[in-house]
Amino acid sequence: MSASSNTHLIANSTEPSPAIVSSAASGSGDRYRQRESVGASPLIWSWIGLLAIAGSLGFYLQLPKLWEIWTTDPLRSIGMIILPTSIVLILYVWRQSDWELRGSWWGLVLVALAFAPIVSARRLEFFWLVRGVRVNFIPSVLPIYLYAGGILLLFAGVRVWRAAWFPLALLLCIQPVPDAFVHFLDLPMQDVSAFIARSFANLLGFSPTNGELLRLMFAPNFGMFIAPGCDGMRGAVTLGYGALILGFLKRLSLLRWSIYVVGALLLGHLCNLIRLCGLVLYYRVAVGHSALEDAAKQADYVIGALLFCLAALLFWIVFRNEGEAGTASIAPNSKERIRASDRENTYWKTIVLALFVLVAMVSAGRAIQISSEKLAFAMRRGEISGTELNGRMPTQVGTYRLVRVWQQQQAGALVLETAVFEKAQSGEIEVGIWLAPSEHSIQESLMTHGENPKLRAVTRFTTAAGRIVPFSMALYDDGITDTLTGDTYCSPSACQLGSFKPKEGLHLAITKSVEQTPRGKRVVPIFFKLQVPHTDSGSESAYKASSIECEDFLSHLDLTQLSQSFQ
């Protein structure tokens, strides 16, 4: 009876007995102390954040190039939105784990690989050259991806690293449109868009004459631009990336996800074709009405903006009813925080990462110093008047005389000095000096604009002072004009071929990523271009005939002295 009563009292008591409390304290006291002490302190989080930001200097070489791409190329400008979006999504996934800190030391391997290009001043390139277009298999932004993945793996752990696979992969897209994509899809789509616009004009019973067609295509008075750049690629790329991100947040299956992304790309192009037809219709109505002509540019913006917003709204409505918002919870079921030993490991990981970042910052300091010298050079060059730059070109090259000269700008900076020389009963020869402290190839520039060479070769010409200079050559033929171009890189002491490789196929190379070039010894990209009337004698004959004239011209031109003038 006594035992039964005691049992009943214990079972119905709302307060545990001292013995039970003591047992619970001994059995779970370590866990309670663990929860009180193992949470990462604000100091630790501050150091992790500070080191992550400081370590970004490890890919200092990539960031200025990316910024230049985002601010000068409208097609790729979306990259400046993709970068912060990716970072926010990574932090969002980490937050789903309650900011778990169960990192792996393997993260340091990824961080070291990210810092390797700037520490060694070398980078690995693996690409396929097809029809003069380089298809890169190792993206230039790979160090940024490796660094972010390394930080996440080092501190958060494998589970969070796997869960954040998409925002990490999104970092590979901060250069959102590869050059090969532009060449194989963007340029052909421009032709298709222009063809549809002309066909729609004919369907309206408005068949433009040649002069009117040019006005329709470029419309300098109207402010329209129904030709290059109006293929809907910018809208399609924006909708495509939007579908990618929403598909991840909604946790769609791979099949449905792919369908929505492809649908977004097609919808972007479809809306652009509707926009072009709308502009053609507006053009037909506006001809002869000055008020409508003056408002044509605004009409272009209004039509395009309305169609894009309509497409975005349609996709939002579709995605709203798909899947579930948010990523799957990856926090432990017990909701326990890290153990004391894990917290101690976090301290050591922070210290070792600091050493890695210090090494990267030393190398980055060297790169920044070189970039500062280049910037100072560019600023000094910006103070030089166009007249002074023109005066650095020779007025006479053998029997060829200077007839005109001009400069070109890019993002507000002078980047190209061009001069044209001619002699009686001969074609004009154009000579260009790339002023910016970077590489430049007229071959790659022309191919980017959709011009494919008929013939490519490496030729050596004897220039003034008996110097033998190698040139990367290409012959272009549009049916009206034969154009022969040649590229070389010259310093005040010698000339050499640049990075342009005319041979097609797979290439694996280790290239120099940081140029240690003292002032006054800079390698200057120089090109020439000869245009003559087209003949039906064939590419080989046209190449030989043009080469003879170019050799005659170059035999009187000292390219090393020319590079000295443009240091």
Per-residue model confidence as pLDDT tens digits over 50-94:
999 999 888 877 887 888 788 877 888 899 999 999 999 999 999
Question: Is 482 in the same domain as 347?
Answer: no
> Can you give the residue range of the structural domain that contains 293?
179-320
Query: Do residues 366 and 391 both lie within one domain?
Result: no
Q: What is the 3-state secondary structure (H, E, C) of 157-197?
A: CHHHHHHCHHHHHHHHHCCCCCHHHHHHHHHHHHHHHHHHH
Q: Do 137 and 262 belong together in one domain?
A: no
Tokens of 562: 């020319």
**Other beta carbons within 10 Å of 286:** 20
Q: Residue ranges of the alpha helices (H) in 432-471?
A: 442-448
**Assigned domain for 12 exists:** no
Report pLDDT for 68.
Answer: 78
Rounded to whole angstroms, how far apart are CA atoms 153 and 109?
10
For the stretch 335-348, pLDDT in tens is: 444 556 667 788 89
pLDDT of 504 > 90? The answer is no
pLDDT range class, residue 144, cuts 50, 70, 90: very high
Which of 251-255, 411-415, 460-464 bottoms out in mean pLDDT, i.e. has the lowest? Answer: 411-415
Asked if residue 284 and residue 421 are part of one domain, the reply reads no
**Range 111-127 burial, b when 16+ CB lie within 10 A, else e:** bbebbbbbbebebebeb
Q: Is there a single domain that holds both residue 375 and residue 399? A: no
Co-location of 164 and 244 in the same domain: no
The reply to whether 246 falls in a domain is: yes
- What is the Cα–Cα distance from 386 to 383, expressed in whole angstroms? 9
Domain count, the chain: 3
Per residue in 147-160, pLDDT (tens digit) is 999 999 999 999 99
Residue with tokens 């970092």: 171
Confidence of residue 100 (pLDDT cuts 50, 70, 90): confident
Amino acid, single-letter form, for residue 354: A
Q: Residues 6 or more apart from 102 whose CB is under 8 A from it?
A: 156, 157, 159, 338, 342
Domain assignment present for residue 24? The answer is: no
Model pLDDT, residue 38:
41
Q: What band does 354 get if pLDDT is binned at 50, 70 and 90?
A: very high
Rounded to an integer, what distance in angstroms lies between the CA atom of residue 439 and that of residue 50? 34
Using alpha carbons, list the distances in angstroms from residue 105 to 57, 189, 510.
Answer: 21, 48, 28
Residue 426 lies in a domain: yes
> Do residues 295 and 435 both lie within one domain?
no
Is 512 inside any structural domain?
Answer: yes
pLDDT at 499: 54
Domain assignment present for residue 36? The answer is no
Residue 432 has pLDDT above 70, yes or no: yes
Whether 34 is in a domain gets the answer no
Same domain flag for 195 and 300 = yes
**Which residue among 353, 379, 405 closes a domain?**
379
Give yes or no: residues 151 and 205 share one domain: no
Range of 18-27, 149-158, 364-373 with top mean pLDDT: 149-158
Residues 151 and 183 in one domain: no
- pTM equals 0.64
The answer to which of 68-77, 194-203, 374-383, 451-460 has the lowest mean pLDDT is 374-383
Looking at residue 36, its pLDDT comes to: 38
pLDDT at 503 over 80: no
Are residue 352 and residue 428 in the same domain, yes or no?
no
Structural tokens at position 313:
């709204």
11: left (phi over 0), alpha (psi -120 to 50) or beta: alpha
The dihedral through the CA atoms of 528, 529, 532, 534 has a sign that is: positive
pLDDT for the residue numbered 534: 85
Closest CA to 343 of 19, 48, 23: 48
Q: Tell me the helix, strand and coil percentages in the chain, rounded to 5.
A: 55, 15, 30
Mean pLDDT of the chain: 77
pLDDT at 342: 67
Region 292-321 average pLDDT = 77
**Residue 207 — pLDDT band, cuts 50, 70, 90?**
low
How many other β-carbons are positioned within 10 Å of the β-carbon of residue 505? 9
Answer yes or no: is 140 within a domain: yes
Shared-domain flag, residues 358 and 371: yes
Residues in the chain: 567
Q: Please determine, for residue 362, whether its predicted confidence score (pLDDT) is greater than 80.
A: yes
User: In three state form, how does the secondary structure of 120-162 look?
Assistant: HCEEEEEEEEECCEEEECCCCCHHHHHHHHHHHHHHCCHHHHH
Average pLDDT estimate for 159-173? 94
**By C-alpha distance, which of 143, 23, 25, 165 is closest to 89?**
165
| Predicted pLDDT of residue 367 | 66
